[in-house]
Amino acid sequence: MRFLIDNNLSPLLAESLKAAGHDAVHVRDLAMQAAPDPVVLERAQAEERVLVSADTDFGGLLSRSHASGPSVLLIRRLAGRRAAEQSAIILANLDQVAEDLAAGAVVVIGDDWIRIRRLPMPG
């Protein structure tokens, strides 16, 4: 899977996902660490990447725009964990949500729960 890791998560998360065989890049690698959320979302869409973030603003942006992509994987209550732990939780649940991410969805992963909202979402 192709991932774009948001600035609010560690670049080590991208490295962990790469080590697991995924195409993952952090916004810092693209000199986009100061880019506004809509620009980051546009980059993920243009490159057909799933945006991985802890920022709930992306769900709101997608909802208001009625966009069908890109997919967003939101990490909730995992933000205080190390990148390796975040990666392990993402990878452990990826098979369960891969079809939704491929189709266009906002997937929220918490410590012991997952919520999936298919795109486009009503505004």
**Per-residue pLDDT tens over the stretch 51-63:** 999 999 999 999 9
Start-to-end CA distance of the chain, whole Å, equals 28
How far, in Å, CA of 115 to CA of 13, rounded? 21
Q: Which residues pair with 26 in a beta bridge?
A: 5
Does some domain include residue 123? no
- How many domains would you assign to the chain? 1
Does some domain include residue 20? yes
Structural domain range at position 103: 2-118
Does some domain include residue 19? yes
Does some domain include residue 56? yes
Q: What pLDDT is attached to residue 123?
A: 61
pLDDT at 79 over 70: no
pLDDT tens digit sequence for 10-45: 999 999 999 999 999 999 999 999 999 999 999 999
Q: Average pLDDT for residues 98-117, to the nearest whole number?
A: 94
> In terms of pTM, does the model score above 0.85?
yes
